Amino acid sequence: MQVRIATDAASNVQAGALVVAVFTDATLDGAAAEADTALGGAIADVIAGGEISGKANEVALLHARDLPYRRVLAVGLGERAKFQPSALAKLAGTAVRYLGKRNVKSIAFALPLEAAKDIARCASFVVEGALAGTIDTTTYRSEPDKPILLDEIIILTGSHDPAAVSRGIERGEVLGTAINMARMMALTPANDMTPTHMASRAQDVARDAGLTFHVLDEAQMLAKGMGSLLGVSQGSDQPATLSVLSYSGDPASSDILALVGKGITFDSGGISIKPADNMHEMKYDMSGGAGVIATMYAIGKLKPKLNVIGLVPASENLPGPRAVKPGDILKAMNGKTIEVINTDAEGRLILADALCYARELGATKIIDCATLTGACVIALGHAASGTMSNDEEWVTRFLDVAATSGERYWRLPLFDDFTTLIKSDIADLKNTGGRAGGAETAGAFLKEFVADVPWIHLDIAGTAYLDSESSFQAKGPTGTPVRAFVAIAEALAASPMAPTNGQTKVPATV
């Protein structure tokens, strides 16, 4: 699919369909007003008739037989006063999925007047959302659903700077590609996405994006004392891997951002086996790792001025004859001993050693992401990812930046109470603290492996994949947290934050 800009007036663009935005105030301006005039007031008529109110992602299709574009799709963009550039990604995805299913091959997007405040970013969101809207999830069917196949996406510059629009398009193509990469990796079944396959995919991405790459095998992990990660893989015939992708965008700086993603390629629960219902969805338990790999691809292509390493510990969690058992004791890379209470709390075990390794590689800031706890889904549903941290300045910066990405994150506490709950009677830690505060006790466990490095934990269990499709994307993996990861990398490159080395702490008690 080609993405290009056009300087034509909205009424003159040659396309299969022209997409214009409609707000809830029912006021038509810019390209929407121009298209309405060309259609003899037809857009105003459908608004007046209640066919579209302007609510986010509503659509109304109008035919324009004698115009250069054959159709006009009006798409709701919500309240004008609350407009955010990220809303354009959902608008574009909605348009692509609606029109693509109707065999439209060429779609022109006219940006609303509100886009003038940040035209490059708005153009980026349109392209990102359009690409994400094309995903086909039926690739394993002998007769897949009819895919959405577009020949071109056209961004109308209007009165905006074409160079800025072009920059936005380039970013949007990279980010949309990265988001779809993460989604397709997560969609891949576990027999085709083993830890070895995941490491191979990471290596391919590193090669494509100009990154350096290395992977630790189980012998190397053993030599480094990664008993926590290795404990999880004991029940599987598939060996664990720990992939590291490195980007050096600012060699003069010693600051390194580490992104760590959970890569459980299938999670049966181990000896503490899960119920059979929906266990097939546990192929998605590597969504955090897929997100890190995809983010590193985007960073390699966008080339921000900072240093980033992506770490993906990958393992299967199966109840084989050598599987770790409840009551077993594991020792992590930093020497801390862990009593395994529940083998289904395995994600934190593989992340523990990866966090230690990130510190060994010189990380001065860390973010990990994981489909970690059902407790986070109970707390936040599918509306937001849980966010925990040991550093106030770092997490505030992240949340401010992530809010502009189109992904939602919500702060959860890490009080000392949660650390108390994971203390073991016979080891340093236990891997669960009971049902109460399950998301927070998991975060408290991970905090034990980052020392004083500013760190953020993202629990994406409720947001990494969805059970139903929306107007703008297919059901299944969402690509979370690629958008936020790329946004924070770009923000740090534009305005670096001095490492606090844990000096600015989140209050531990209330």
* 509 has a pLDDT exceeding 80: no
**How sure is the predictor about 64, in pLDDT bands with cuts at 50, 70 and 90?**
confident
Quick one: tokens of 12? 């003159």
Cβ(135)–Cβ(181) under 8 Å? Answer: no
**CA atoms of 489 and 460, how far apart (whole Å):** 19
Q: What is the mean pLDDT of residues 198-211?
A: 98
Of the candidate ranges 5-19, 194-208, 226-240, 485-499, the one whose mean pLDDT is the lowest: 485-499
**CA atoms of 303 and 296, how far apart (whole Å):** 10
Quick one: tokens of 378? 């109970």
Cβ(71)–Cβ(17) under 8 Å? Answer: yes
pLDDT the model gives residue 37? 94
**CA atoms of 359 and 365, how far apart (whole Å):** 9
* 106 has a pLDDT exceeding 70: yes
Cβ(98)–Cβ(109) under 8 Å? Answer: no
Of the candidate ranges 130-144, 181-195, 422-436, the one whose mean pLDDT is the lowest: 130-144
Q: Strand 152-156: give its sheet, edge to edge.
A: 2-6, 152-156, 106-110, 17-22, 71-76, 59-63
For residue 103, give the nearest of 70, 131, 137 by alpha carbon: 70
Q: Reply yes or no on whether 274 is catalytic.
A: yes
Q: How many CB atoms lie within 10 A of CB 128?
A: 33
Q: What is the mean pLDDT of residues 244-252?
A: 97
Percent of the chain whose predicted confidence (pLDDT) is above 70: 97
**CA atoms of 480 and 382, how far apart (whole Å):** 12
Strand partners, 214: 244
pLDDT the model gives residue 158? 83
**Per the residue annotation, which of 105, 224, 274, 411 is the catalytic one?**
274
Q: Reply yes or no on whether 65 is catalytic.
A: no
By 3-state DSSP, what share of the chain in percent is helix, strand and coil, each rounded to 5?
Answer: 40, 20, 40
Please provide the average confidence, as pLDDT, over all residues in the chain. Answer: 94
Cβ(369)–Cβ(261) under 8 Å? Answer: yes
Rg (CA), the chain: 24
* 506 has a pLDDT exceeding 70: no
Strand partners, 59: 75
Strand partners, 211: none
Q: What is the mean pLDDT of residues 185-206?
A: 98
Q: Is 98 exposed, middle or buried (0-12, 13-18, 19+ CB in 10 A)?
A: buried
Most confident of 8-12, 92-96, 496-500: 92-96
**How sure is the predictor about 402, in pLDDT bands with cuts at 50, 70 and 90?**
very high
For residue 75, give the nearest of 339, 385, 89, 208 by alpha carbon: 89
Residue 448: DSSP 8-state: T
**CA atoms of 39 and 36, how far apart (whole Å):** 5
Q: What is the mean pLDDT of residues 401-417?
A: 97
Q: pLDDT per residue over 79-98, tens digit each?
A: 999 999 999 999 999 999 99
**CA atoms of 438 and 375, how far apart (whole Å):** 5
β-strands 307-317, 329-331: how paired?
Answer: unpaired
* 139 has a pLDDT exceeding 80: no
pLDDT the model gives residue 435? 93
Quick one: tokens of 66? 């004698």
**How sure is the predictor about 502, in pLDDT bands with cuts at 50, 70 and 90?**
very low
**CA atoms of 15 and 104, how far apart (whole Å):** 9
Q: pLDDT per residue over 467-480, tens digit each?
A: 999 999 999 999 99
Q: What is the mean pLDDT of residues 118-135?
A: 96
**How sure is the predictor about 340, in pLDDT bands with cuts at 50, 70 and 90?**
very high
Amino acid at residue number 379: A
pTM above 0.85, yes or no: yes
β-strands 152-156, 106-110: how paired?
Answer: parallel
Question: In whole angstroms, how far apart are CA 217 and each of 195, 220, 221, 321?
Answer: 10, 5, 6, 21
**CA atoms of 467 and 277, how far apart (whole Å):** 14
**CA atoms of 449 and 354, how far apart (whole Å):** 9
pLDDT the model gives residue 145? 72
**CA atoms of 501 and 53, how far apart (whole Å):** 50
Q: Which domains does the chain have, with CATH numbers?
A: 2-179 (3.40.220.10), 188-378+414-494 (3.40.630.10)
**Per the residue annotation, which of 71, 97, 331, 348 is the catalytic one?**
348
Is the model more confident about 173 or about 468? 173
Q: How many CB atoms lie within 10 A of CB 135?
A: 22
